[in-house]
Structure 1
């Protein structure tokens, strides 16, 4: 690997240490790789052991971590700081989706959705913020969802958990702003990931067309830009927010959804 030239996009995160959750695939994997490409040393975590086998960049180290386990999160952050260096960046991506109408939603599905999507963000952000605040710098980005701001059928648990994670991140950001720590949210819409296709049936091309065109029966408008996002689209938004280019941005919720929510 060649060294990055100072002042170029490939070096803007040089020397920084990042922790990314939910990084074995999809958006989390794209974020880990994008941060590494810009010079960061990345610890990519996931509860799936696959995360340890998907590290094509020498700057990425895989670590198995269940974000629902607060003690495990604290230990993992301590290990990252001991082996990689002081944590500069945290990106919360880990998430699960259990689609169902509310009247059919089980207590287990509701609890497990919040355990990952909301409690997990709390566990990792708390552990990171304690250290970042003490050092007077750092950036935390939570990958939420545009469903946090617009009602969706069959997605009550997911939408509610993401809304909670979004507001938590903003409240945290308010508390640690004077310590030099920035906290922001990136809210994707429909993105080409396994989670997206979990919501669809039949041919993927036809399913994509239905998403883009919209579905009045489920009260969804389409995507004005006429495309489903790639994970790299979300990763680009995250890398901007953690960089010095966004040094005066905090408490912000950046929708990356092709206009699908009409920014309601």
Structure 2
């Protein structure tokens, strides 16, 4: 994949998981990268791993001023921002009746409001670049409903709609916006958190749960961080210049139908 020379990127949630890997991959392709994370120390650690052309910034994506300040810092350091990857996200698992207003506000606040604030703050710079790229990292939970995940599912469905609306609005200025929707990835921080919840509630070991998840996927394995980073980098590449408003299921075919009673 060809990444245009001299890209200037800001990645929310860049201190770990998908965001951290995308930061490394973009930087290796020659981009300047601002790593933004709620944990400022972790953001700076990733920036130090990258070396030159990297900036580590702390920001709570739910706070408009903090997000705007992070975007302005990246613009000042790099002369503008032409690439935005929205990777900041949190997960909530719990029965509907046990889900509190605080659970809802935190999940929707980080996953959806945070994406809106980042896109809004970066939009002028993305427009001015003439080659803006936005990629949001959603979930299979933004494609179909799952039990015990009401705030998370709602936030990820909203993220798909946000991405499509932004794609329509920014297209006249040459900005594309696309979404990557992966199934659960067991090696990210969120993936490990989900796995711990499943082991605690199911009585099965982590290995048993992972093997069952892989066996239930049409391609017979679980998602990797590289699978998701590859999809993000594709949308940021020159080859994807004519794609916008698209959501890509990175799920090994998990969205496909099956005949009941037939394996």
Q: Does TM, normalized by the shorter one, top 0.5?
A: yes
Is contact 2:11–2:33 with CA below 8 Å preserved after alignment?
A: yes
Residue of structure 1 aligned with 2:27, choices 25, 36, 40: 36
SS at match of 1:199: helix
Is contact 1:142–1:186 with CA below 8 Å preserved after alignment?
A: yes
Q: Give 1:104 shift.
A: 0.8
Q: Does 1:67 align with 2:69?
A: no
Residue of structure 1 aligned with 2:50, choices 53, 57, 67: 57
SS at match of 1:251: coil
Q: CA RMSD in A?
A: 1.6
Match of 1:218 in 2: none
CA distance in 2, matches of 1:206, 1:42: 38
Is contact 1:13–1:35 with CA below 8 Å preserved after alignment?
A: no
Q: Give 1:67 shift.
A: 0.7
Per the normalisation by structure 1, the TM-score is 0.89
CA distance in 1, matches of 2:183, 2:62: 24
Q: Give 1:263 shift.
A: 7.7
Match of 1:259 in 2: 253
Residue of structure 2 aligned with 1:198, choices 183, 193, 198: 193
Match of 2:99 in 1: 105
Match of 1:208 in 2: 210
Match of 1:19 in 2: 10
Unaligned runs of 5+ in 2: 259-263
Q: Give 1:113 shift.
A: 0.5
CA distance in 1, matches of 2:129, 2:36: 23
Deviations 1:184-203 (A, max 9, x none): 00001121312123222153
Match of 1:5 in 2: none
Match of 1:172 in 2: 166
Per the normalisation by structure 2, the TM-score is 0.89
- Kindly tell me: are residues 134 and 84 of structure 1, through their superposed partners in 2, closer, same or farther at Cα, counting changes over 3 Å? closer
More helix by share: 2
Is contact 1:34–1:236 with CA below 8 Å preserved after alignment?
A: no
Count of paired positions = 247
Q: Give 1:151 shift.
A: 1.1
Unaligned runs of 5+ in 1: 1-8, 214-221
Is contact 1:197–1:204 with CA below 8 Å preserved after alignment?
A: no
Is contact 1:93–1:142 with CA below 8 Å preserved after alignment?
A: yes
Is contact 1:32–1:60 with CA below 8 Å preserved after alignment?
A: no
SS at match of 1:261: coil
